[in-house]
């Protein structure tokens, strides 16, 4: 039978990894058949344990805050945050599972550097055992991520060395002759997900080997998982809805002075304009949730007078007049039921708190 095949396997438990352990030696002992051309995929949790990134305590929110460089979105105690690595993930990667009770595991400080160290150690050990002077090995360090607009979690690469992390099919054509302009497979993430099928979360198998993809290996360590991070001008979803509303409020001079999370479920106090007059209060988290629920609004900018200027999504603007009118009517009823009034034509929509 023609085609292509790969093998993915994970050894049973490697034992408890502790701070200071030589992780490459631990992995080499657990993988006695590791060979030239293999890709080793290892959970970031054991990397963190070996590197001493386990902290005592049960104050998870404080640990999350310490690991956060930018809060992207929050709903109650659920936080989506950007880490120092540039990853946007739940709880800034802080985890209380698969670790002794009363402890929290943090992501490695530099997971690409961790992957490079593991790869270097494994190459020495495999070379000594097999006689291959410079064995070609790849290492991918993984962690669990949720995905926007998708239920469930999957493993993704947070560190990599010796593997092609991002492919490029730009300039190619498919078998129908269609040109491919921007297709770029996230190869390291695909490797992470494949390995997770055999590692699983509860089986005590934090490492897996992928065999049969030697063409993904590179002679050098390479750029690592950092090459997969999309931030700055390329980030089309930099903030959650309520965080975007709060930022607009602050930029407009509203002076709210803090993220919506600090006012969750409550009404931010009115703040003074330079002229000294108080602005009417507006419940930013509630408004953001309502606008989310309508599915019609792309963004909201809060003016100094306390009203929010709405920009409709492109798909909403493309609706027929009657259909859009019905949708805006339902939106007005929803907002009114929570103390907000919707005014203006579709291109100039505003929301303001209803009087008393």
- Please check whether residues 250 and 195 belong to one and the same domain: no
- Please check whether residues 135 and 196 belong to one and the same domain: yes
| Nearest-angstrom CA–CA distance, 150 and 140 | 24
**Residue that terminates a domain, selected from 206, 232, 258:** 232
Q: Evaluate whether 159 touches 112 at the Cβ level (below 8 Å).
A: yes
- Please check whether residues 137 and 191 belong to one and the same domain: yes
| CATH number reported for the structural domain that contains residue 221 in this entry | 3.30.1330.100
- Please check whether residues 266 and 141 belong to one and the same domain: no
- Note the pLDDT of residue 262: 35
Contacts of 48 (CB under 8 A, 6+ apart): 54, 105, 106, 107, 108
- Note the pLDDT of residue 259: 36
- Note the pLDDT of residue 118: 98
- Please check whether residues 138 and 12 belong to one and the same domain: yes
Enclosing domain of residue 286:
241-353
**Residue that terminates a domain, selected from 176, 208, 232:** 232
Q: Beta 150-161 vs 138-147: how paired, if at all?
A: antiparallel
H or E, element range at 94: none
Q: Evaluate whether 198 touches 84 at the Cβ level (below 8 Å).
A: no
Q: Which two tokens stand for residue 47?
A: 């990397």
Residue 95 counted as domain residue: no
H or E, element range at 276: none
Over its length of 356 residues, how does the chain's per-residue pLDDT go in tens digits?
Answer: 677 889 999 998 788 899 999 999 999 999 999 999 999 999 999 999 999 999 988 788 999 999 999 888 887 788 999 999 989 999 999 998 888 888 999 999 999 999 999 999 999 999 999 899 899 999 999 999 998 888 999 999 999 999 999 988 777 888 888 887 767 889 999 999 999 999 987 778 999 999 999 999 999 999 999 999 987 666 777 777 666 666 665 555 544 433 333 333 333 333 223 233 333 456 777 888 888 888 888 888 887 777 888 889 888 888 887 778 778 887 887 787 777 888 887 788 888 887 65
- Please check whether residues 189 and 280 belong to one and the same domain: no
| Alpha-carbon radius of gyration of the chain | 25
- Please check whether residues 174 and 264 belong to one and the same domain: no
CB < 8 Å & 24+ apart, contacts of 144-153: 144/201, 145/87, 145/89, 145/90, 146/89, 146/90, 148/237
Q: Is the pTM of this model over 0.85?
A: no
Nearest by Cα to 66 from 75, 74, 55, 77: 55
Residue 138 counted as domain residue: yes
| Nearest-angstrom CA–CA distance, 48 and 89 | 17
- Please check whether residues 184 and 276 belong to one and the same domain: no
**CA angle in degrees (0–180, nearest 5) for 226-260-233:** 35
Residue 63 counted as domain residue: no
Buried b (16+ CB within 10 A) or exposed e, 312-328: beeebeebeeeebeebb
Measuring CA to CA, how many Å separate 355 from each of 13, 187, 282, 309? Answer: 64, 55, 12, 18
């Amino acid at each position: 039978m023609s085609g292509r095949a790969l093998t993915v396997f994970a050894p049973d438990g490697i034992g408890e990894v502790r701070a200071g352990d030589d992780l490459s030696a631990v992995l080499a002992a657990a993988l006695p058949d590791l060979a030239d051309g293999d890709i080793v995929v290892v959970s970031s949790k054991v990397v963190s344990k070996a590197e001493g990134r386990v902290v005592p305590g049960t104050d998870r929110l404080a640990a999350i805050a310490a690991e956060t460089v930018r809060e992207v979105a929050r709903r109650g105690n659920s936080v989506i945050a950007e880490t120092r690595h540039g990853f946007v993930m739940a709880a800034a990667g802080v985890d209380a599972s698969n670790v002794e009770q009363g402890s929290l595991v943090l992501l490695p400080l530099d997971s690409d550097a961790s992957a490079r160290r593991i790869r270097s150690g494994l190459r020495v050990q495999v070379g000594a055992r097999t006689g291959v002077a410079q064995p070609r090995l790849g290492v991918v360090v993984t962690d669990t991520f949720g995905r926007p607009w998708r239920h469930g979690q999957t493993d993704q690469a947070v560190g990599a060395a010796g593997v092609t992390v991002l492919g490029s099919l730009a300039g190619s054509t498919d078998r129908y002759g269609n040109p491919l302009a921007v297709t770029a497979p996230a190869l390291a993430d695909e490797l992470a997900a494949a390995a997770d099928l055999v590692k699983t979360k509860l089986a005590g198998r934090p490492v897996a080997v992928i065999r049969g993809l030697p063409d993904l290996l590179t002679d050098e360590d390479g750029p690592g998982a950092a090459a997969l991070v999309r931030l700055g001008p390329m980030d089309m979803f930099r903030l959650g809805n309520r965080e975007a509303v709060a930022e607009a409020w602050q930029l407009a001079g509203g002076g709210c002075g803090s993220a919506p999370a600090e006012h969750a479920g409550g009404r931010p106090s009115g703040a003074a304009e330079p002229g000294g007059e108080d602005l009417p209060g507006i419940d930013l988290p509630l408004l953001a949730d309502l606008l989310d629920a309508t599915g019609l609004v792309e963004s909201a900018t809060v003016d100094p007078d306390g009203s929010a200027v709405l920009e409709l999504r492109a798909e909403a603007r493309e609706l027929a007049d009657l259909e859009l009118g019905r949708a805006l009517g339902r939106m007005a009823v929803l907002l009114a039921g929570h103390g907000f009034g919707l005014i203006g034509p579709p291109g100039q929509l505003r929301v303001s708190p209803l009087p008393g």
